[in-house]
Structure 1
C-alpha cells in the first residue's frame, strides 16, 4: 500500500492519495479542485486514480471529485447520511457510490470502512483504512471531524449557510461522534483534513498527523465528559467564517464547472484599467505600502501572498467579473488560486509594470499610533477596528468601533463620514486592505494606523504609566 499526503498551505487543506501497488489502483480522499498534483504523483508511482472519496460537503474550498469524474471517469464515494438538505446534488451527473455508516469498499487490496461522524455537518463521514487482510484499522481519514489538538466547528451551517438552530444540534452530534472515535484502538493513525490556519476549527495543530491515543490524552475535546459543558465550550469563540463559505457549500453540493472548460484570462494593456474599473472588480496585488503611495481609484488591494486566496474569497463578489493587477507570469497561478474557491470569473490580467504613474492618483496616509490616539481622544477621527470578534474580546481601544474586514462591503454605511476614518487591525496588514475597500466604496478620507492595535495598546499603556 502507498499513502501520499498533499497540503495546500494557502487554504490549510490536506488531502490524501491511497494506492494499491499490487493492482496499480489509487483513490484520492478529499481532493482539491486543482488535480494536477495527484495525477503527477500517481504517474510517478505507476498508479491509476480510479476513485475519489469525500468526508463531507466542504465549505472552504472547491472539491475535485467532480473534476476527476468528468475528466477521467473516476468513481466518487459520497455520503448518503444526513438530512435531505445536504445531499450531493451532482451525484446523479457522475459515477457515484452513495455510502452510509458501516459500508465497505475496496480499491485494489485496500479496504475502506465508512464511519458516520456528524457534528461538523450532518452528512459528515470518516474513512477507516484497512490494508489487505487486517481485521483492525491502521488509520482513519477524519476530514473536519477530528484535527490535531482540536475538532470541527458545528456552526457553519448556521453562520455561513443560514440554517438556524443547527449549531446546538451539531455540537450534540459531535459529542456522540467523539465517543465512537475514543473507542478506536490507540494506535490508529489520524489523518485530518486541515491544519493550523483553517477556519474550520478554533485552534488546529500544525503537525500533519496524529493518533487516536495521542488525541485522547491531549485534545481538549476528548477530555470533556459533560455534554453541557462540551457544547458550551465548542460553540464559544469560534472564528467568524469567511463570506465565501456559503458559496462553497452550494457549489460542492450542486457541482461546478470543470476547469478545462474555463477560458484563460486575457492580458490587457494597463491603459485600459480606468475603463475596467467601471465594469469589473479590479484587484491590485502589490504590497500595501506600494498601494498606499499611489493606486487607481476604485481598485482594492489584496497582496499576492499566502493569504491571497482567503481574502479574495472574503472580499470579491462571485457574480461579477474580476481583473487583477499583477505580473503576467503570475497569471496561471492566480487563476488556479481563485478557482480553488470558485472565483471563476477572472477574465483580465493587467500588467503591473505598465501602470502609468499619472493614473495612480489615489493615496492614503499612514499615521503613527500616537498621532491616531491623540486625534481620537480629541474627537477628530473615527477609529475603526477590522479585527475578528475573538481578537476584539481579548482587548480593544475604547474609542474604536469594530466591523470585520470581510463585512465592510455590507456594513460600510454604518461608518460616519463627518471626520476622517482611522483604521487598524492587529499589526497593520488587514487594515491596509480595509482602507482600499473603503476608498473603493467611496469613503475617501481614510487613514491606516501603522502597527495596528499592538502599537495603539503600547501608546495607551505609556499614557497610563504617565498618569499614574
Structure 2
C-alpha cells in the first residue's frame, strides 16, 4: 500500500493519496480544488485515480471531490450518514458506514475532524458560523459517544492520520505532528481522561471552553460543499493587464486589485480601493476574509511578478471558492498610489479623543482579546469584519481605528473595510507596538 500525505499550510488542511501498487489504482481522500498535486502523484507512481472521497462535510475549505472525479473519471463517494440537513446534493455514491476496516487488525485510520494530534474536532461550528442555536451541545454528546464507541475501540497500534494540523480553526489545541496513534491519544490527550472516567459533562465543558473564532466564510463552505462546488474544469491562465484597463475596471466596480506586498510596503503606498493579501502562504485564508463571492461579482487582478506566481494565487483562491482571478499586473506604474491612514501608538489617545473617531477595533481572536487588549477596544476578528458590519458603527459615524497583534491580519481587514466604504486608520505595529510603547512610558515615569 502507498500512503501520501498532502498538507496545505495555508488552511492547515490535510488530504491523502492511497494507492495499490499491484492494481495501479488510487483513492484520494479530502482533495482540494486545485488538482495538480494529485494528478502529479498519480503520474509519478504510475497509478490511476479510480475513487475519491471525503471524511465529512468541510467548513474550512471548498472540497475538490467533485472536481477530481470529473477530471479523472473516478467514482465519488460521500457519506450517507446524518439527518436530512447533512445529505449531499450532488451525484455520488452514498456510503452508510465509512469507518470500518477490511482486515481483522487495522493499521491506519484517517480520522478527518474526529481526532487530531492532541485534540478532537469542534462541535460548535453550526452555532458559531452558520447561526444555529445550541447545536454544540448535541454535537458534543455525539462526539463523546463516537470517541468511546469508534475511536477508542481501535487497537492502540493503529496509526492516526487527521484532517488538520496546528493553526486550523477546526479545533483549539491541534498539535503539529502529522500523525499520532490510538494508544498515544488514549494515554496523553486532554479528552481521554474524561472518557476514562465516563465524565461526559466534564468533556463537554472543557471541549466548548475557549474554542477559537470561526471565520465567517465557514458558513458558505458548508452550504457549497453540501450543494456541490461549481466545477472549474481547465482554468485559463491569468493574463497581464495594462494599467488603464485596471483603473477603468476599478472605477466601474468590475475589477478588484489585490496588493500582495508586505505590510510596510502597503503602508508606504498602495492603490486606493485595493485589497491586501500580504503573503502567498495564507492567500486562501485572507482572500476568504476579504471577498464574499456570493455578493461581490468583481473579477480579481493580483500584483505578481509573472504569470506563474499569479496562477499560484489563483490556486489558493479556488480552495475557498474565490474563482474570479483573471489577470495580474507586475507593478503599480500608471495607477494612483496613496499611503493608507495610520496612527502611531504615541498618538492613539489623541486620535481616539477626536469626535470623528467612532470605534477602536481589535481584529484579533477573542482569546487574544480576553488575554489583554487596549482599554476600550471592541473585538471582532479579521475573519468576520466584512461579514458582520452590523456590529460596526454606521459608515457616516466616523473613523474606525483597527489593530491586530503585529499588523498582518490588520492590513487584510482594514483594506476590506476601506473597500466597503469605511474610514479606517491602522494602528502602526498594532497591539505589539502599543504594548512596547506603554511599557516604555511606564518605565520612564518610575523615579530613579
TM-score if structure 1 supplies the norm length? 0.86
- Using the alignment, how far apart are the partners of 1:270 and 1:51 within structure 2? 45
- Asked if the contact 1:281–1:316 (Cα under 8 Å) also holds between the matched residues in 2, the reply is no
Aligned with residue 250 of structure 1, among 204, 223, 226: 223
The alignment status of 1:345 with 2:310, answered yes or no, reads no
Aligned residue for 1:122?
none
Residue in structure 1 matching 2:116, options 127, 143, 147? 147
Q: Which residue of 2 aligns with 1:322?
A: 299
- How far did 1:375 drift? 4.7
- Tell me the residue number matched to 1:123: none
Partner of 1:447: 425
Q: Which residue of 2 aligns with 1:405?
A: 382
Gaps of 5+ in 2: none
Query: Match for residue 121 of structure 1?
Result: none
Identify if the C-alpha distance between structure 1 residues 141 and 30 changes in structure 2 by more than 3 Å, giving closer, same or farther: same
Task: Return closer, same or farther for 1:262/1:251 CA change in 2, 3 Å cut-off.
Answer: farther
Would you say the 8 A contact 1:153–1:234 is kept in 2? yes
The equivalent of 2:96 in structure 1 is: 100
- SS at structure 2 position matched to 1:23: coil
Task: Specify the alignment match of 2:211 in structure 1.
Answer: 238
Q: 1:314/1:438 Cα in 2 relative to 1: closer, same or farther (>3 Å)?
A: closer
- Distance 1:140-1:417 versus aligned 2 partners, 3 A rule: same
Q: Answer whether contact 1:384 1:421 (CA < 8 A) is retained.
A: yes
Q: How does 1:6-85 map to 2 (within 5 A)?
A: 6-85=6-85
SS at match of 1:306: helix
Q: Do 2:289 and 2:413's aligned partners in 1 also have CA atoms closer than 8 Å? A: no
Task: Select which of 333, 339, 343 maps to 1:363.
Answer: 339
Q: Residues of 2 paired with 1:141 and 1:436: CA distance? A: 39
Aligned to 1:296: 271
Note if contact 1:321-1:346 (Cα within 8 Å) is conserved in structure 2: no
Q: How many Å apart are 1:149 and its aligned residue?
A: 0.8
- 1:279-294 equivalences in 2 (<5 Å): 279=253, 280-294=255-269
Q: Given that residues 395 and 422 in structure 2 are in contact (C-alpha distance below 8 angstroms), is that contact kept between their aligned partners in structure 1?
A: no
Question: Which is worse superposed, 405-414 or 76-85?
Answer: 405-414
Q: Does the CA-based 8 Å contact 1:373-1:456 persist in structure 2?
A: no
Contact map agreement 2:395 2:421 (CA 8 A) in 1 = no
Partner of 2:146: 177
Q: Does the 8 Å contact 2:404/2:430 carry over to 1?
A: yes
- Report whether the alignment pairs 1:5 with 2:5: yes
Looking at structure 2, the residues matched to 413 and 196 of structure 1 have their Cα atoms a distance apart, in angstroms, of 31
Q: Compute the displacement of 1:162 (Å).
A: 2.9
8 Å contact kept, 1:376–1:399: no
Tell me how far apart the structure 2 counterparts of residues 312 and 282 of structure 1 sit (CA, whole Å). 12
- Judged with a 3 Å threshold, the aligned counterparts in structure 2 of structure 1 residues 378 and 314 are, in CA distance, closer, same or farther, namely closer
- Paired with 1:393 and 1:204, the residues of 2 have a C-alpha distance of 20
3-state SS of paired residue (2:224): helix
Partner deviation per Cα, 1:335-390 (whole Å, 9 max, x = no partner) = 2111111111223x241325326x11x32244432332465478885532111111
Cα displacement (A) at 1:167: 1.2
Contact 1:285 1:301 in 2 (8 A): yes
Q: 1:263–1:247: structure 2 CA closer, same or farther, 3 Å change rule?
A: farther
CA RMSD of aligned residues (A): 2.4
Looking at structure 2, the residues matched to 261 and 230 of structure 1 have their Cα atoms a distance apart, in angstroms, of 47
Aligned equivalents of 1:250, 1:420: Cα separation in 2: 34
* Corresponding residue of 1:191: 161
The DSSP-based 3-state class of the residue aligned with 1:60 is coil
Partner of 1:396: 373
User: Does the CA contact (< 8 Å) of 1:385 and 1:401 recur in 2?
Assistant: yes
Give CA-to-partner distance per residue, 1:160-219, whole Å, 9 cap, x none.
233333211101101111112122111100000111111111121111000001111221
Whether contact under 8 Å (1:271, 1:355) holds in the other structure is no
- Are residues 463 and 295 of structure 1, via their aligned partners in 2, closer, same or farther at CA, if it must alter by over 3 Å? closer
Instruction: Give the match's secondary structure for 1:89.
Output: coil
* Contact kept in structure 2, 1:52 and 1:74, CA below 8 Å: yes
Report the counterpart of residue 118 of structure 1 in structure 2. none
Cα displacement (A) at 1:281: 3.2
In the alignment, structure 1 segments of 5+ residues that lack a partner are: 102-113, 116-127
- TM-score, normalisation: structure 2: 0.89
Q: Distance in 1 between matches of 2:361 and 2:63?
A: 36
Task: Work out the number of aligned pairs and report it.
Answer: 433
The answer (yes or no) to whether the contact 2:263–2:407 under 8 Å persists in 1 is no
Q: Which has the higher contact order (CA 8 A, sep 6+)?
A: 2
